[in-house]
Chain A
Amino acid sequence: QKEVEQNSGPLSVPEGAIASLNCTYSDRGSQSFFWYRQYSGKSPELIMFIYSNGDKEDGRFTAQLNKASQYVSLLIRDSQPSDSATYLCAVKGDFNKFYFGSGTKLNVKP
């Protein structure tokens, strides 16, 4: 059983701070990694993806991948109250199957 682990939180940060979300995965052969944001009562929406070791930046979001440590993280700079949501880490494995962590709830306090 492939596993994806996330701290369930809640993670509370003040507005304007950096939020750091972490994820570990068990399948060393995984190649594609995704971060989804999910507001309460809504479906998950893709915010970042990363395939190569290192950092990938998109606006206020930075995804970091370390395949040797089997670790993926998401940094949100200048956090806003509208960033308050649950963040899901997903790993794509064999046969196009996706495995999800249980999500980290982020609260950004004004």
Chain B
Amino acid sequence: NAGVTQTPKFQVLKTGQSMTLQCAQDMNHNSMYWYRQDPGMGLRLIYYSASEGTTDKGEVPNGYNVSRLNKREFSLRLESAAPSQTSVYFCASSGTGNSPLHFGNGTRLTVT
């Protein structure tokens, strides 16, 4: 039972490079999320997808794009990485009603 799987685990980019973080869940959840976590800032929502076919901005969407490829997969793209995007990124999913968030293992991204 894999839960939420995100790749890669670590990534180093140079300023201006692009990359896509991949996320997949096998719990048949409708909603998927991308968060970033910085020291002292807690978890901040970048984008979320309440259901297949929809995406919405969270608190800190600038510099990111997302694609809800199907019910299982939700990717996060950095088109032109900046040092301010150095962070730990978590993908998560949730069912409806009172269902909690289930997190992936995270991606540690460093932009130099």
Contact = CB atoms under 8 A, between A and B. Distances in A.
Interface of A: 1, 8, 31-32, 34, 36, 42-46, 49, 51, 88, 90, 92, 95-103
Given A43-B106, A100-B44, 4 more contacts: A36-B101, A96-B31, A102-B40, A102-B42
B98 A32 contact: yes
B50 A31 contact: no
A31 B42 contact: no
B85 interface: no
Given A95-B56, A97-B45, A102-B40, A44 B98 contact: no
Interface size range on B against A: 20 to 34
Contacts, number: 57
Contacts of A100: 35, 42-44
B66 to A, nearest CB: 15
List 5 tightest A-B contacts by C-beta distance, closest first: A102-B42, A100-B43, A43-B103, A96-B31, A32-B98
B33 A51 contact: no
B50 A95 contact: yes
Contacts of A8: 40
Contact of B41 (A34, A36, A90, A102): A102
